[in-house]
């Protein structure tokens, strides 16, 4: 929240799909570990913290955002074939060959679904991506025993 306040962000868009954990198939062990993450509770806590600092949280479904090409302004819906393609877990290639981080592609689509195309009239998609920051949870915690469990 500190970063959002510092950047004067007034709205936060979070993607959520109902029952998405029930339909995953990442292997038995990964599924067991992954399903234990309380995603809905995390969204509730982020919303609570955001409201404390005056940030509006908008939760939207993120269906088809990882398959459709934001750069090509492809409609966010099911298609027989898509203009772009996911190269691997973290990389998306648009129809014209432009490479973009797959999560950024999906995030921009969620913003587009919520606010429409006109929100990107700044001429640069970079204007809407908050630069990710690598953080060490132990540096954020005063609880040393909690940090030893993480390492």
Strand intervals (E) in 26-139: 56-60, 85-88, 91-93, 99-101
96-123: average pLDDT: 79
Q: What is the pLDDT of residues 37-88, one digit of tens each?
A: 677 888 899 999 999 999 999 998 877 777 788 777 887 777 788 888 888 8
pLDDT of residue 150: 42
Cα 46 to Cα 11, 52, 53, 143, distances in angstroms: 12, 10, 11, 21
Bigger pLDDT: 23 vs 101: 101
pLDDT of residue 100: 83
Cα 81 to Cα 52, 73, 84, distances in angstroms: 43, 15, 9
Q: Please check whether residue 103 is in contact with residue 90, taking contact to mean a CB–CB distance below 8 angstroms.
A: yes
List the domain range (segments joined by +) for residue 6.
2-150
Question: Phi, psi at residue 130, to the nearest 5°?
Answer: -80, 130
Question: Phi, psi at residue 85, to the nearest 5°?
Answer: -145, 150
**How many Å apart are CA 10 and CA 14, to the nearest integer?**
13
Q: What is the pLDDT of residues 106-115, one digit of tens each?
A: 888 888 888 8
Cβ neighbours of residue 142 closer than 8 Å, sequence gap 6 or more:
none
Indicate the number of domains in the chain. Answer: 1
**How many Å apart are CA 129 and CA 112, to the nearest integer?**
13
Largest CA distance in the chain: 52
89-97: average pLDDT: 83
- pLDDT of 116 > 90? The answer is no
* Bridge partners, residue 116, by sequence: none
**How many Å apart are CA 79 and CA 109, to the nearest integer?**
15
pLDDT of residue 138: 55
pLDDT of residue 149: 44
């Amino acid at each position: 929240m500190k970063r959002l306040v510092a950047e004067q962000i007034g709205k936060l868009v979070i993607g959520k799909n109902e029952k998405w954990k029930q339909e995953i198939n990442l292997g038995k062990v990964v599924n067991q570990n992954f399903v234990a993450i309380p995603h809905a509770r995390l969204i509730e806590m982020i919303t609570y913290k955001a409201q404390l600092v005056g940030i509006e949280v908008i939760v939207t479904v993120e269906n088809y955002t990882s398959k459709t090409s934001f750069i090509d302004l492809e409609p966010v819906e099911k298609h027989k074939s898509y203009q772009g393609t996911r190269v691997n877990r973290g990389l998306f290639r648009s129809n014209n060959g432009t490479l973009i981080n797959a999560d950024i592609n999906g995030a921009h689509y969620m913003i587009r679904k919520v606010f429409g195309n006109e929100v990107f009239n700044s001429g640069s998609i970079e204007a809407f991506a908050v630069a990710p920051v690598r953080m060490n949870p132990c540096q954020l915690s005063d609880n040393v025993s909690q940090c030893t469990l993480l390492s």
